[in-house]
Structure 1
Amino acid sequence: MMQQLIKVHNEDNVGIALADLTQGHVVRFEGQDITILNPTKAKHKIALQDLKEGDSVFMYGVLVGRALHFIQKGGLLTTENVKHQSAEVQGRTDRYTWNPPDISQWKERTFMGYHRLDGQVGTQNVWLFFPLVFCENRNIEILKDAFEKELAIGKISKQRRLLRRLILGSSLNDIDADDTAGERTFENIEVKFITHQGGCGGIRQDSETLAKLLAGYIKNPNVAGATVLSLGCQNLQIDLLTEALKSLDANLQKPVLIYEQQQLGTVEDMLNIIIKESFKGIKEANNIQRKPAPLSKLKLGLECGGSDGFSGISANPALGYASDLLTALGGSPVLSEFPELCGVEQELVNRCVRDEDAERFMQLMKAYENSAERVGSGFDMNPSPGNIKDGLITDAMKSAGAAKKGGTSPIQGVLDYGEYVTRPGLNLLCTPGNDVESTTGMVGSGANIVVFTTGLGTPTGNPIAPVIKVSSNTELAKKMPDIIDIDTGAVIRGERSIEEMGAEILEYVIQVASGEIKAKADALGQDDFIPWKRGVSL
């Protein structure tokens, strides 16, 4: 019989329901009988002992809440009887020691990547088009339409085929095959397009941050070259981008074509120049071939979204083990989403290798939380309605599970949004918890592949980096097979260990990084890009 309750840490005073439990049902757990007092859905939490008003609630061995009134053993934890609470951070309290996992089977492994002149290695080979300001979005869209149609990138969508059938009054089989599929003009290069709503109109700091982010996208090893469109009068001037690029790499050896509309005359004249010169660069970039590279060249973004009550006991710790394997191999995992680290700050502070990084982490966390509180919010309001519905009822509870993505390795660097990863090993990056803003930020900091865990399902992708989706439960994997790459539901059923599943994730990462498997988000054309806008609009 499948286990019905699980306790994650010995010090926890709540358990997680692994299956739907009916009121009055008696569960034998840790040598005692627990009578379920409320109808309890899988993923939700049950009190394993009587909790008096004001008592602390512990999960994952950390403080995640406070009882608002008496909760009897076997009672269901809800937003009505538990309030968010997290432990005070004392500064570094211990020097961290780490026992890395066994990597003997991975030491000689490589992936097939695109080698860049600066020593980085890409998992994709992309020529990227983007604007410095939203005024140029229309021109980017015109270029996208031209390049995608003429380079025959991918196939005509099923939705366009359906519409065409309705218009023509014919069956799918009657449609000319030339209209439904095309052969790629270039085999080794993809052409991707970014639009955004920034670059002008907000505070100058927003434009400066956006410049750093876009420079990071050019620097990212997945990008072979870029075409950049500027209007001319916007806040995000061309020199802001070039300065940001120089700060990342004073000797950048990638083609970056920049065009300013107010200097080039008519739209038609400008677009003709851009198409001719960009095509030449794309054609040259197509000559770059995949070659073997050590796994140390992987920078792995660690993301979660649409989390559920199982995320913290299956998908996230499995990804954490994969992260530890990569760290031991010399790679660079990146853990972001600072609002979802609330409650586990003490552990992360202790894991920082350098005192200055521990201090910077706390400064960034405090500044972020203060800015949220100034507008009437706070980290305690982080769980979404979907999170709460599926058992994550406090931010600290959500955070304790979300932080498991970062494994157990020492923290080698702490970065603010727009800063680039330079130290091998686990890095912390200050981003929002918002899926796309966070993923956008990690790729701008150099992540050449992302693993994204989810319990509810989310289609998020990225224009230049593969985003691999990992489900926390098998029900989701079966319901949304078009977006889920890996299912960790076997951990919940007790059929696979965290270590086995983590090794499977790393194996899948290698195959995607080598171009052997296409991530589902890429197959769907899910190219999401939303920069974090920290300031007010003026």
Structure 2
Amino acid sequence: MSREGQDPVNPNPVIRLHPSDNVLVARSELGLGQQLADPAVRVRAQVPAGHKIAACAIAAGTPVRKFDTVIGVAARDIAPGDHVHAHNLTLVDFYRDPAFCQDVRPVDYVPEAQRATFNGFVRADGRVGTRNFIGILSSVNCSSTVIRQIAAHFTPQRLAEYPNVDGVVAFAQTSGCGMSSPSEHFDVLRRTLAGYARHPNLAGVLIVGLGCERNQVASLVESQGLEPGPAVHTLVMQDTGGTRATIAAGIRAIESMLPAASAAVRQPVPASHLKIGLECGGSDGFSGISANPALGAAMDILVRHGGTAILSETPEIHGVEFMLTRRAVTPEVGQKLLDRLAWWERYTAGHNAQFNGVVGHGNQQGGLANIFEKSLGSAMKGGTTPLQAVYEYAEPIDQAGFVFMDSPGYDPVAVTGQIASGANLICFTTGRGSMFGSKPAPTIKLASNSAMYHRLEEDMDINCGLVLDGELSVPQMGQRIFEHILRAASGEPTKSELLGLGDNEFVPWHLGIVS
């Protein structure tokens, strides 16, 4: 990555990401008529930071390349210095050789005795939590108010005598009844609820149902292999005596779990117990230059220490899936990823969905013209290690290393699936400034640029804009992120936790017909 057009007043105004690129990225806002280092390139428009300009003449129909990857073709002749964006860039899909396993490189694992550690909660089955909550799940929307009121009873004052409990949190949801059964939606909902119920960041769980819903509590528990006991309680409102009686019974159930939950203490454990969900939201033109590759560098470190990195958001690898299939450890793993993309193509056909090319308003304002360009940056969060496995949404992840979990690109839905799959911490990159948190697994937010970081510092944990500013290299930023992850996993509060976010971000994926 090089910088051109340096001058004392506006140093490094553009970034050339690859020698083969025919576009440059504006490091800061470019003015009409501004002359870059190359005399042949004079800026021909007012160009916002993070957007692209043509580095040379690009004829109509010619591929436009960023990171030496085609992100579209010129819709018309583009002159050197022209602003290149959705107005003159056309998305054209084409065949890409998946080249299964071609780029698989062996991982230089750190010897077990030398691996990094964090202080976590070790559960009876050997899994490790980064937080210690008691959770309340609703089997159906009809019991959501009840579980919220049960959780609201446990104020900080009432929990003061249980210092090792991070809180009592309600995971209310809006489905569970008016849905096809059996169906994919039904299976996904149950898998998601079960993933939370057995999550290592929960010391105990209460599941509350209404009684007449399709997602019956008893069959939910039985079908998902959950075992009622001291740490798993269930209530059915119609059997318990209604709203107030269920709230009272729920409070008693939580009170019975608190002493054992508070008896749990943190202890040193290897970083191999970390499962990190990788998310991006409110991306901009800098996300693929700073925050996403830096997070990828941190995940390479994590994998070397035996941990697990979970990339998701299937629509946001559309167009760059070959970057992952070439790293698949077997052709079968690579094909499973392509099969999920084919499912998404059928699922979104005829709809104005991101998968079909259109990105969100904030993405476009931040310099991303289409889904291929966004995907190019999004995939970088996964680093460079081999793709070990591909999972469906909320499917338990049992393979260490870099893996992929199918999900929508909508942040709360994607993160909900990652947590249900076992992620005990989330790393969330953003260029525009997403305000997001999650429970029971906390979220670390990584800003792609310094201007946004300083404007929203109360919400952002890490400033990856230091890469753009020339203060840190991507590997150095990756090391800093990895060290921050270890501290957060050991209990250091994230910015979203300090702000109280995470109570409304449990959003299971809705699929199919609601009747």
Coarse TM-score class (shorter-chain normalised): over 0.9
Equivalent position of 1:332 in the other structure: 308
Equivalent position of 1:230 in the other structure: 209
Q: d(CA) in 2 for partners of 1:412 and 1:287?
A: 36
Q: Does 1:96 align with 2:103?
A: yes
Q: Does 1:491 align with 2:471?
A: no
What is the correspondence of 1:253-272 to structure 2 with a 5 Å cutoff?
Answer: 255-272=231-248
Q: Does 1:394 align with 2:370?
A: yes
Equivalent position of 2:3 in the other structure: none
Q: Does 1:16 align with 2:28?
A: no
Q: Is the 8 A contact 2:18 2:67 kept in 1?
A: yes
What is the correspondence of 1:302-381 to structure 2 with a 5 Å cutoff?
Answer: 302-377=278-353, 379-381=355-357
User: Would the alpha carbon gap of residues 33 and 464 (structure 1) be closer, same or farther in structure 2, given more than 3 Å must change?
Assistant: same
Equivalent position of 1:6 in the other structure: 15
The alpha-carbon deviation at position 104 of structure 1 amounts to 8.4
Q: Secondary structure at the match of 1:113?
A: strand
The alpha-carbon deviation at position 218 of structure 1 amounts to 1.7
- Percent identity of equivalent pairs: 33
Q: Does 1:193 align with 2:193?
A: no
Q: d(CA) in 2 for partners of 1:384 and 1:474?
A: 22
Q: Secondary structure at the match of 2:483?
A: helix
Q: Does 1:274 align with 2:250?
A: yes
The alpha-carbon deviation at position 105 of structure 1 amounts to 12
Q: Deviations over 1:441-500 (max 9, x none)?
A: 111110000110111111111120110011011111111111100001111111110000
Counterpart among 180, 186, 193 of residue 203 in structure 1: 180
Equivalent position of 1:130 in the other structure: 137
Q: Secondary structure at the match of 1:28?
A: coil
User: Would the alpha carbon gap of residues 308 and 103 (structure 1) be closer, same or farther in structure 2, given more than 3 Å must change?
Assistant: farther
Equivalent position of 2:76 in the other structure: 69
Q: d(CA) in 2 for partners of 1:345 and 1:299?
A: 22
Q: d(CA) in 2 for partners of 1:319 and 1:221?
A: 24
Q: Is the 8 A contact 2:20 2:65 kept in 1?
A: yes
Q: Is the 8 A contact 1:118 1:253 kept in 2?
A: no
User: Would the alpha carbon gap of residues 244 and 351 (structure 1) be closer, same or farther in structure 2, given more than 3 Å must change?
Assistant: farther
The alpha-carbon deviation at position 240 of structure 1 amounts to 4.2
Equivalent position of 1:177 in the other structure: none
Residue type of the alignment partner of 1:196: Q
The alpha-carbon deviation at position 103 of structure 1 amounts to 5.6
Higher mean alpha-carbon deviation, 45-54 vs 388-397, is at 45-54
Counterpart among 491, 500, 509 of residue 532 in structure 1: 509
Equivalent position of 1:521 in the other structure: 496
Q: Is the 8 A contact 1:62 1:343 kept in 2?
A: no
The alpha-carbon deviation at position 326 of structure 1 amounts to 0.5
Q: Is the 8 A contact 1:127 1:224 kept in 2?
A: yes
Higher mean alpha-carbon deviation, 504-513 vs 202-211, is at 202-211
Q: Secondary structure at the match of 2:315?
A: helix
Q: Is the 8 A contact 2:100 2:331 kept in 1?
A: no
User: Would the alpha carbon gap of residues 119 and 262 (structure 1) be closer, same or farther in structure 2, given more than 3 Å must change?
Assistant: same
Q: Is the 8 A contact 2:394 2:419 kept in 1?
A: no
Q: d(CA) in 1 for partners of 2:301 and 2:93?
A: 29
Q: Deviations over 1:95-148 (max 9, x none)?
A: 223265796899342100000122211100111012100000121122122122
Equivalent position of 1:25 in the other structure: 34
Q: Deviations over 1:324-359 (max 9, x none)?
A: 111111100000011110111112111111222111
Unaligned runs of 5+ in 1: 153-183
Q: Secondary structure at the match of 2:257?
A: helix
Q: Is the 8 A contact 1:112 1:292 kept in 2?
A: yes
Q: Is the 8 A contact 1:193 1:463 kept in 2?
A: no
Q: Is the 8 A contact 1:264 1:270 kept in 2?
A: yes
Q: d(CA) in 2 for partners of 1:213 and 1:460?
A: 20
Q: Deviations over 1:368-400 (max 9, x none)?
A: 122111445451344111110110011100110
Q: Does 1:49 align with 2:24?
A: no
Q: d(CA) in 2 for partners of 1:127 and 1:383?
A: 37
Q: Secondary structure at the match of 1:452?
A: strand
Q: Secondary structure at the match of 2:114?
A: coil
User: Would the alpha carbon gap of residues 80 and 483 (structure 1) be closer, same or farther in structure 2, given more than 3 Å must change?
Assistant: same
Q: Is the 8 A contact 1:331 1:424 kept in 2?
A: yes
Q: Deviations over 1:415-445 (max 9, x none)?
A: 1112011000011011111111111111111
Q: TM-score, normalised by structure 2?
A: 0.93
Q: d(CA) in 2 for partners of 1:100 and 1:23?
A: 48
Q: Is the 8 A contact 1:415 1:429 kept in 2?
A: yes
Q: Is the 8 A contact 2:100 2:330 kept in 1?
A: no
Residue type of the alignment partner of 1:81: N
Q: Deviations over 1:265-292 (max 9, x none)?
A: 2333333322222211122111010011
Q: TM-score, normalised by structure 1?
A: 0.89
Equivalent position of 2:386 in the other structure: 410
Q: Deviations over 1:309-337 (max 9, x none)?
A: 11110000000000111111110000001
Q: Is the 8 A contact 1:68 1:82 kept in 2?
A: yes
Equivalent position of 1:510 in the other structure: 486
Q: d(CA) in 2 for partners of 1:309 and 1:268?
A: 51
Q: Is the 8 A contact 2:290 2:465 kept in 1?
A: yes
Q: d(CA) in 1 for partners of 2:269 and 2:338?
A: 36
Q: Is the 8 A contact 1:126 1:192 kept in 2?
A: yes
Q: Does 1:446 align with 2:422?
A: yes
Q: Deviations over 1:246-267 (max 9, x none)?
A: 2xxx789872101111222233
Counterpart among 62, 79, 82 of residue 89 in structure 2: 82
Q: Is the 8 A contact 2:279 2:428 kept in 1?
A: yes
Q: d(CA) in 1 for partners of 2:474 and 2:57?
A: 31
Q: d(CA) in 1 for partners of 2:98 and 2:52?
A: 31
Q: Is the 8 A contact 1:111 1:294 kept in 2?
A: yes
Equivalent position of 1:421 in the other structure: 397
Higher mean alpha-carbon deviation, 89-98 vs 483-492, is at 89-98
Q: Is the 8 A contact 1:200 1:207 kept in 2?
A: no
The alpha-carbon deviation at position 536 of structure 1 amounts to 2.6
User: Would the alpha carbon gap of residues 480 and 92 (structure 1) be closer, same or farther in structure 2, given more than 3 Å must change?
Assistant: same
Q: Secondary structure at the match of 1:412?
A: strand
The alpha-carbon deviation at position 92 of structure 1 amounts to 3.0
Residue type of the alignment partner of 1:12: D
Q: Secondary structure at the match of 1:351?
A: coil
Residue type of the alignment partner of 2:46: P
Equivalent position of 1:298 in the other structure: 274
Q: Is the 8 A contact 2:101 2:330 kept in 1?
A: no
Q: Is the 8 A contact 1:63 1:87 kept in 2?
A: no
Q: Is the 8 A contact 2:207 2:217 kept in 1?
A: no
Q: d(CA) in 2 for partners of 1:366 and 1:254?
A: 44
